[in-house]
Amino acid sequence: MSLATKLDPEFAAILSNFPPGGLFTDSPDVSVRRHVYEQMIVPAVQAGQGVLPPDTEYEIQDHFIPVEKGVEVRARCIVPVRLTGEDALPLLFWIHGGGWSFGDLNWDDYKLRRAAVYLRLVIVNCEYRLAPEYPFPIPMNDCFAALKYVATNTTVFSSSINLSKGFLIGGMSAGANIVAVITHLARNDDVLRGTPLTGQILVTPPVVHPDYVPARYSDSLRSMETNKNAPIFSRSEFDIFWGFYKAPSTDPRACPLLFPSHMRLPPTYIQVCGLDILRDEGVLYEKVLKRSGVRTRLDMYPGVSHGFDVVAPHTTQGQKFAQDFFGGLEWLLEETRCSARRPSTDSAQSQSEKPVGVKPLTLRSERR
């Protein structure tokens, strides 16, 4: 991985202007991180996303999705204006990042608007209750409940949705962690049995805790140590975020690499960064899924760290990162089309693949 960890010159020039201590100055105060997100990250992301499609080419509506009794989470639905003669559209369910403790619809909003119009798919961008006020498993449970609500109430969001055209799920960082968990839980869920997920996109995903790595994987996971002082997202930053989340490091609902089986997961696209402490987790996870019969694709970006696209979107690597994200979605949509023609080789899943203690949530039907 030596070439992957050599600092990219364009990225290095941008880092030279960073304040000492990085974006969050290693503060354990979650309010500091939320302030940085609102005042620095959102403006930077929106400025770096390029020109949006004309307003006449898509519609946006915010919804409130019931996730448990008396609790709703906000979701933004982006619907491309249907072209003449165009069939109904596939769906992408998106989960934002932010260390399980900050972030909202605005983080990926501009990128998702472009994806909806240019790739012709409906996108539901979902929030969740944040740690530390709402620790594990609440953020994950919120997202899983919201996904099932969307799957069973597509017309609430848009008459343009046809899940048989594609039912994708994706997320970045902490959102990617939740996505990787949900795809496992969805395999056995009665609500989703008739509308299975057809693809997942994982952007710089954390999939295992460094203090509880199965021995068979220990030699494959070095980046948490070798990149421990990486810019933007260091090992100490990870520990702070994990402390907010309060998840057991042995629970596969927080560390999806630990699920006893990865069979029957949907095609998976993964993006990893060479200087990321999470780099080896993404690389290993792709290999584990592939060995389990999952169709996979992975792209790596040498010399840049976790979250580099926020501060360096116009660099060569930043532009490739964005282009590959769209390309990964296109690949997943094509995989959906191909799977309709490909003979199924999946066998029924055994009861041993079901994680113990995971209960489905009961949803109420009203929305605000």
356 found inside a domain: no
Give the CATH number of the domain where residue 235 resides. Answer: 3.40.50.1820
pLDDT at residue 21, rounded to an integer: 62
Q: Looking at the predicted structure, is the pLDDT value of residue 365 above 50?
A: no
pLDDT at residue 50, rounded to an integer: 78
311 found inside a domain: yes
Instruction: Compute the distance between CA of residue 201 and CA of residue 79 in angstroms, rounded to an integer.
Output: 20
Q: Looking at the predicted structure, is the pLDDT value of residue 345 above 60?
A: no
4 found inside a domain: no
Instruction: Compute the distance between CA of residue 301 and CA of residue 317 in angstroms, rounded to an integer.
Output: 7
352: confidence class by pLDDT, cuts 50, 70, 90: very low
355 found inside a domain: no
348 found inside a domain: no
11-44 pLDDT tens trace = 999 999 877 666 776 678 999 999 999 999 999 9
358 found inside a domain: no
pLDDT at residue 4, rounded to an integer: 74
194-252 pLDDT tens trace = 999 999 999 999 999 999 999 999 999 999 999 999 999 999 999 999 999 999 999 99
pLDDT at residue 366, rounded to an integer: 33
Q: Looking at the predicted structure, is the pLDDT value of residue 135 above 90?
A: yes
Expressed in percent and rounded to 5, the helix, strand and coil fractions of the chain are 40, 15, 45
253 found inside a domain: yes
Contacts of 28 (CB under 8 A, 6+ apart): 240, 243
In DSSP terms, which residues pair with 280 in a beta bridge?
none
Question: Quick one: average pLDDT of 74-84?
Answer: 97
Give the number of domains in the chain: 1
Q: Looking at the predicted structure, is the pLDDT value of residue 367 above 50?
A: no
51: confidence class by pLDDT, cuts 50, 70, 90: confident
pLDDT at residue 355, rounded to an integer: 38
343 DSSP assignment: P
Q: What angle do CA 79, 110, 58 make, to 5 degrees?
A: 25
Q: Report CA-CA distances (Å) from 137 to 353, 358, 360.
A: 20, 10, 13
Q: From the CB of residue 235, how many other CB atoms can be counted at a distance below 10 Å?
A: 16
Domain hosting residue 53, numbered range: 11-337
Mean pLDDT, the chain, integer? 91
113-133 pLDDT tens trace = 999 999 999 999 999 999 999
**High-pLDDT (> 70) share of the chain, %:** 90
165: confidence class by pLDDT, cuts 50, 70, 90: very high
276-313 pLDDT tens trace = 999 999 999 999 999 999 999 999 999 999 999 999 99
pLDDT at residue 53, rounded to an integer: 96
2 found inside a domain: no
